[in-house]
Amino acid sequence: MSCHQTPDIVAEHFDTRLSPSARQRVQQHLAACADCRAELALLAPAQEMLLSWQHEPAPDWERSHAQSQPLAAPAHRPPLPGRHARLSWKDAGRWVPLAASLVLSVAVLTQTRLDVSEQGWQLSFGGDASNVSWPQLDAYMAAQASLQQQQNQQMLESALQQFGDNTADTLVQLVDWFEQQRELDIQRMEAGFQQLLDRDYQTVNSVQQLASYVQFQGDLP
């Protein structure tokens, strides 16, 4: 087989459900490719041999045996318990808090306002934007920011005061530890360097021995 398309062409040729356009492509290739034609001619008897199979009837067996087996759960999700149940006052503890939260959320979002006077009460939706001016809002935000900064500063000062001594001790210990580590590193580096030198010395010796051996071999008649 020298045509790289042979597996595809052979497989598609034996595909009885190939689309007309694909069938045409296969026929065109076969008309031009002797390798694929030869391979097809070689393999056709294998397909024919398979198709010579004679259908055998199934023997008698206990067909209803399966019905004694349990069925798997259906693929569709069953409705959740109580999903379609009607609301009742018996379950009020479950849905009243949720309903109250929902009502309050809607009231806040729609800026609901209830005015009660001697003449009765009035429910209105939507805030009056003219009640609050931009300078007032800016001043309020600045005051809040200042207050927040003061609180942060107080917290930081108290924290520093409480842990100040401990921090100083810890810093001294940290510096000592760094010094010790530095000395250890220098010692390790020196030892490693010494080992390196020793190995180099051994290597030079080996090379010298090799060179003298080669020279000796070369001097032989």
Among 51, 116, 129, 172, binds another protein (CB under 8 A): 51
Does residue 67 touch another protein according to CB under 8 A? yes
Does residue 47 touch another protein according to CB under 8 A? yes
Output the six-digit token pair for 145: 């920011």
Among 21, 61, 117, 130, binds another protein (CB under 8 A): 61
Residue 1: half-sphere exposure toward Cβ, Cα within 13 Å: 13
Site size toward another protein (CB under 8 A) is: 41
Q: Are 25 and 36 in contact (CB under 8 A)?
A: no
Among 2, 4, 20, 59, binds another protein (CB under 8 A): 59
- β-strand partners of 113: 124
Site for another protein in 72-131 (CB under 8 A): 72-76
- The neighbour count for residue 23, using CB atoms within 10 Å, is 13
Does residue 65 touch another protein according to CB under 8 A? yes
Among 4, 21, 49, 123, binds another protein (CB under 8 A): 49
E-state strands within the chain = 113-117, 120-124
Closer residue to another protein in complex, CB, 65/86? 65
- β-strand partners of 116: 121
Does residue 14 touch another protein according to CB under 8 A? yes
- Which backbone phi and psi does 6 adopt, to 5 degrees? -55, -50
Site for another protein in 158-187 (CB under 8 A): none
Q: How far is the CB of 59 from another protein (least distance, A)?
A: 6
Q: How far is the CB of 71 from another protein (least distance, A)?
A: 5
Q: Of 47-55, 98-106, 157-165, 210-218, which part binds another protein (CB under 8 A)?
A: 47-55
Which DSSP string do the residues of 153-185 spell out, in sequence order?
HHHHHHHHHHHHHHHHHHHHHHHHHHHHHHHHH
Of 42, 33, 34, nearest to 14 by C-alpha is 42
Of 46, 3, 52, nearest to 26 by C-alpha is 3
Q: How far is the CB of 2 from another protein (least distance, A)?
A: 15
Q: Are 47 and 14 in contact (CB under 8 A)?
A: yes
Does residue 7 touch another protein according to CB under 8 A? yes
| Contacts to another protein by CB under 8 A | 6-8, 10-12, 14-17, 42-43, 45-47, 49-59, 61-67, 69-76
